[in-house]
Amino acid sequence: MKKAEEIFELIKSGFPGVTVELSADMPTEPIISVDPLKVHEICKFLRDNEDCKFDSLMNLSGVDDANGEKIKEEDDSEIIKGGTLSVYYHLHSMSLNHKITLRASAPRENPEVESVDNVWKAADWHEREAYDMCGIKFLNHYDLRRILMPYDWEDGSYPLRKDYKNPEFYNGMKVPY
């Protein structure tokens, strides 16, 4: 059983030159921030390393951090420019019984994160959901389609973005709310 700090040190020594950060000031969980374009390598390392053995992905969530510049529109709605979208990975090792949370933040204008679905198959649907809801693009995902929303939902319209606007019409039908 290893602490988040020890795992952080392992990642840091395993990947020199890659930005990794540990934020342990959160009240409940320490989080390790990693480069979104190195996630696949790091996750593979975490799964296969003898001291880590993270064999299961508990959860993967896409989050709109809403930390960009907020611009008021004419109709009083807000759009967000800049800032990041994040993916949180909750990993767990069944054999060593320790947990870790990873975060990969990608710029809002071009949110590209490497897919980990060939490290843990569990990531497949979770990544599709994060794409569907937050519009995060997972590079090298074999089948990145919408999962919960209809397949013909408007392109570029992602419900869990903080500046999402309900469409007025869907397939010619009025959308009341």
CB nearer another protein, residue 15 or residue 83: 83
CA–CA distance, 23 with 157 (Å, rounded to integer): 32
Question: Considering only CA atoms, which of 1, 2, 8 is closest in space to residue 103?
Answer: 8
CB nearer another protein, residue 35 or residue 129: 129
> Minimal distance in Å, beta carbon 114 to another protein?
18
| Binding to another protein in span 5-64, by CB under 8 A | 26-29, 31, 55-59, 61, 63-64
Query: Within 10 Å of residue 124's Cβ, how many Cβ atoms?
Result: 20
Query: Within 10 Å of residue 47's Cβ, how many Cβ atoms?
Result: 18
Interface size with another protein, residues (CB under 8 A): 33
Question: Environment class of residue 95 by beta-carbon count within 10 Å: exposed (0-12), middle (13-18) or buried (19+)?
Answer: exposed
Residue 124 in contact with another protein, rule: CB under 8 A:
yes
| Binding to another protein in span 142-161, by CB under 8 A | 146-150, 159-160
Part in contact with another protein (CB under 8 A); list of ranges 3-11, 38-46, 77-85, 121-129: 121-129
CB nearer another protein, residue 82 or residue 159: 159
| Binding to another protein in span 84-113, by CB under 8 A | 88, 90, 94, 97, 101
The encoded tokens of residue 154 equal 């408007």
Burial 149-168, CB ≥16 within 10 A → b, else e: eeeebeeeebebbbbbeeee
Measured in residues, the chain has a length of: 177
Question: Which residues are at the interface with another protein (CB under 8 A)?
Answer: 26-29, 31, 55-59, 61, 63-64, 88, 90, 94, 97, 101, 120-122, 124-126, 133, 146-150, 159-160, 164
